[in-house]
Amino acid sequence: MMAEPIAPIGAGQLSLTVLLMLLVVGLSYYEKLALEREYLLGVGRTFVQLLLVGYILEYILSLNRWYLVLLILAVMVAAACQAGVGRLRRRDLRLYPMMAVSLLVGGGVTILVVTEVVLRIEPWYHPRYLIPLAGMIIGNAMNGATLGGERYRSELLLRSAEVETLLCLGFGAKRASANARREAISAALIPTLNSMMVVGVVSLPGMMTGQILAGTSPLIAVRYQIVVMIMISAAVSLSAYLMVVMLSRHYFTRHHQIRYYVLKK
């Protein structure tokens, strides 16, 4: 059975999405959410960024050069670091290398296993596989590291009396902050776990939907989606863990004292 070609979306059809945009803007205005400007800015950036990426990816796919693929991945990581640290809303330059290490290790290990062990793509830099998969991994790893880092800081502030008591009793920083660390990593995993619980029942994920629309067999699309869900969970958990571990060293001195001036910065 031949796959049907995917229905194209013309510029006129794309412009009709303004109807849905008006719905969001109208709701924001009616409920006085004051999100109209931010939403329209987000829509504008979505159009510009995705169209630009589309042209860039089409050019890279046509050339199929490993160094261009690595350049794209480096830009992805840099942008994710900037966005992730920005979400933490803290002015601390030391957060950038922490975020970078979390993404490079957490995302890098996941990408390596998926592309070289599971899918075994040839060549290893095949842009049609590597770039989309890396984009999903890096984006979710950023969310995991950000959620974990922000929750860890909040938990330390909330549990400061508990942590101080344990430190006074002779426990090290790792043991004293164990509850805060567990809560932070668990919080980072909640969105991913929620998605895994309802995938295929409540929602059909983007990659699976895209493959089906493109004419791929649903059974093949399902296998890819299983790989995607598991790789995302691995990237999120590893990146969140690394971020929390590095922040723990940042928030505590070598003598197991809390650096409140850093924690409240």
Domains of the chain by residue range: 13-63, 66-263
Pick from 218, 250, 214, 259: nearest CA to 4? 214
How much is the pLDDT for 1?
A: 42
* Per-residue model confidence as pLDDT tens digits over 58-78: 888 888 899 999 999 999 999
User: Which residues are bridge partners to 258 per DSSP?
Assistant: 252
Cα dihedral sign, 128-134-139-144:
positive
- CA 195 – CA 180 distance, rounded (Å): 24
Are 174 and 137 contacting, i.e. CB atoms less than 8 angstroms apart? no
Q: What's the predicted TM-score (pTM) here?
A: 0.84
Would you state the pLDDT for residue 97?
A: 94
Per residue in 175-198, pLDDT tens?
999 999 999 999 999 999 998 898
Q: Are 57 and 131 in contact (CB under 8 A)?
A: yes
DSSP code of 122?
S
Which tens digit of pLDDT belongs to each residue from 71-103? 999 999 999 999 999 888 677 888 999 999 999
User: CB-side exposure of 212: number of CA atoms within 13 Å?
Assistant: 12
199 by DSSP, 3-state: which?
strand
Strand partners, 252: 258
pLDDT over threshold 90, residue 136: yes
* Residue 166 · residue 123 · CB < 8 Å: no
173 CB burial (10 A radius; 0-12, 13-18, 19+): buried
